[in-house]
Amino acid sequence: MADTRFSVIGRITGSTDDTLANAVVIPHSAALAIDGVSDFQTVVLVRTDLGGGGPVSRVIRIAIRPDRPESLATSPVADFSSLRQGVGSELTRLTAAVGFLLLAVATLLIANAMIVSVVSRTAEIGLRRSMGASQRGIARIFFIEGGLLGVLGGLLGSASGMAVSLAIAAMNRWDTTQPLLAVFVGPAVGLAAGLLASAYPSWRAATTLPAEAMRAD
């Protein structure tokens, strides 16, 4: 080839590419040693296993030209790992948005339940005030009730979420781990939501006049 002798070391078999099946393949460095040959328009086709295109495209330039990797350009290859990370990030954002929406709804439901409790216990509130209970003491009662509702709801939500995730992992034969922090996050968030929802009902109960409360029935 161009007055240069090469030793035949094998044949390419099993290739589905007619270009490779009908070609003579020589080392890249040997091709550059031939007069009139330049690698300016050389195209290298690399076949990889499924999912290996992305990692290979990131290191192929260094593997072919470790002396001048910047002289080569690689074609963009869809990286399934990046795609998976992108999908995972979007699902995480969507789950967080749905979670905040449900938390807001749960907070409103707790507030509504506490207001109903204040209205139904107006006579009791008046009796407590007439017997010497302070406004702070009355407010503390409803704060405690709202906090307990939030903690119980957080515990139930955490337990349900863990049970569902473990069931899905078991059905798909996946390995799963449950972080210890997740056990405390649910009740803590529930407590915060319960206290926030109890703010107005507690204030309303504390500011109820004893005389008006005793005549509520």
Mean pLDDT of the chain: 80
Share of the chain above pLDDT 70, in %: 86
CA distance 146 to 112: 11
pLDDT at residue 41 in the model: 65
Q: Cβ distance 142 to 198 under 8 Å?
A: yes
CA distance 147 to 191: 5
Residue 40: band (very low, low, confident or very high) from pLDDT cuts 50, 70, 90: low
pLDDT digits (tens, 9 = 90+) for 75-105: 766 666 666 677 778 888 888 898 889 889 8
- Nearest Cα neighbor of 202 from 107, 105, 137 is 137
- Nearest Cα neighbor of 165 from 176, 154, 153, 152 is 176
For the cut 70, the answer to whether the pLDDT of residue 203 exceeds it is: yes
pLDDT at residue 55 in the model: 77
Residue 3: band (very low, low, confident or very high) from pLDDT cuts 50, 70, 90: confident
> What is the DSSP code (8-state) at residue 35?
T
Coil, strand or helix at 126: helix
Residue found by looking up tokens 């192929």 in the block = 60
List the structure tokens of 173. Answer: 């034969």
CA distance 51 to 80: 6
Sequence-separated (6 or more) residues with CB below 8 Å from residue 118: 125, 142, 201, 204, 205, 208
pLDDT at residue 22 in the model: 75
- Cα 132 vs. chain centroid, distance in angstroms? 52
For the cut 80, the answer to whether the pLDDT of residue 206 exceeds it is: yes
For helices 53-64 and 80-120, angle between their N-to-C axes, nearest 10 degrees: 140
- Nearest Cα neighbor of 42 from 71, 16, 70 is 71
How many C-beta atoms surround the C-beta of residue 154 within 10 A?
23
CA distance 97 to 199: 25
The alpha carbon dihedral of 98, 101, 106, 107 has a sign of positive
The pTM is what?
Answer: 0.56
